[in-house]
Structure 1
């Protein structure tokens, strides 16, 4: 099994999110490569990943004498803050649902294949699932208006907030609208690697891999109300394992990072 299942780019984003975000500092490239070595990433792969991230506007590169430093861009800052909210703000377990749903109904011309694809992708990312035709739902109050507005589809969509009536089988509706097996598999995979002795002994490498793999598990989770999910929903156990491991490795990882990372 590889040291981590996360991609080098994701691991580097976790590194910058932990130790650069909101600090207005840059990190010396050599120290980033040292961290990558702890994750089993070669120096060549690390340099290639840094270059690709600059090309994708995820990192900004700045030379200081003979040294090269990397810092965050506006784009990566926004992505990392969103990830931080998903991890620590909303979490993976929706056990305080207020019973409300956001409904979005849309009707697009048949020829608008790209617009339809973009809208469905944005809705899925934001926690919506289709229940029939052009009607999608998401638990709670979701900013569907912003999604529609950003895509320029205001004239073709309607947004409602409502509660299900007594005749609605919410559990069946959730099962129809969402790929529950696929969602559960992400948490099962996480537990298979992390519910037990950490797969990495190095505290910094373990923390970065833990954060990256947890974000992968939760990033497309619509946070469905747990009372309408199958018994023993694996997100409950997975979140508990994540938080316990994160608390255990946080301080040791910071000490190691403090010794390795050179900032400017």
Structure 2
């Protein structure tokens, strides 16, 4: 890895990083990985074999991974529960819906609404008007902001963790803007370094994007960094993906042999990101 990258990046926590690795690499390639490959990949990020094995054990205990032993080798696959969780996260990272421009309001009971909905009364909830927000089986109204933008921003700042999410985006930008500027200038690094950098990119970005309530722009603080962070993530991911995927196809193994360099799922991800980049 280039010295600029090595100096800026720190070793991640093993369980969280393994979740990132499975989500970015393994889930779209069948969901199974040899633990030897996992240990080798994590070593490039400063994670020891002992840390990896402990983290895998915890992920098994939490119901995200399940193990299988074939001969002397151990393989770990995503559980059905984890696959659903990873698919939901992948939609946010690789194929998010357009930023909402308005709101949904429902007159419903608390137990009937998903976590996207915020209570604003005894039986009233509000959510950003996005097509991935689950509608309850109740009256749902669509509305727009027609006045009081300042008051709306004050309300949003108190109701959602926007300061915390914005700080995560700012931290992501401060680390990856100079690193990716070097990539734009020098070109993508060789496969092992490209994959290591892409994993760090996804890992850092997902910690902000998956807690972002993705509100209409009118509700966000001035200078909100989410759009800039998204653009950097998309451009960086695309710049690193060819070399990273080639390395995966050469060195990553599941119980049947090498993982595919590309699959229909990885190609769909890349196509959607390219379309977003050109939009």
Q: Give me the TM-score of the superposition, normalised by structure 2.
A: 0.73
The alpha carbon displacement at 1:132 in A equals 5.7
Would the aligned equivalents of 1:104 and 1:144 in 2 still touch at CA under 8 Å? no
1:1-264 → structure 2 map (5 Å cutoff):
3-4=9-10, 6-24=12-30, 26-90=32-96, 94=99, 96-97=100-101, 99-103=102-106, 106=109, 123=115, 126=116, 128-131=117-120, 135-140=124-129, 142-145=133-136, 160-164=140-144, 166=146, 169=149, 170-197=152-179, 202-264=193-255
Would the aligned equivalents of 1:203 and 1:253 in 2 still touch at CA under 8 Å? yes
Greater RCO (CA < 8 Å, at least 6 residues apart): 1
The alpha carbon displacement at 1:230 in A equals 2.8
Which residue of structure 2 aligns with residue 150 of structure 1? none
Give the Cα separation in 2 of the matches to 1:105 and 1:185: 33
Deviations 1:22-79 (A, max 9, x none): 4436322111100010111001101111121112221121111111111111011111
Structure 2 gaps of 5+ residues are 1-6, 184-188, 256-279
Structure 1 gaps of 5+ residues are 108-114, 147-157
Runs of 4+ in 1 over 6 A off after TM superposition: none
Equivalences, count? 236
The alpha carbon displacement at 1:20 in A equals 2.6
Give the Cα separation in 1 of the matches to 2:145 and 2:32: 54
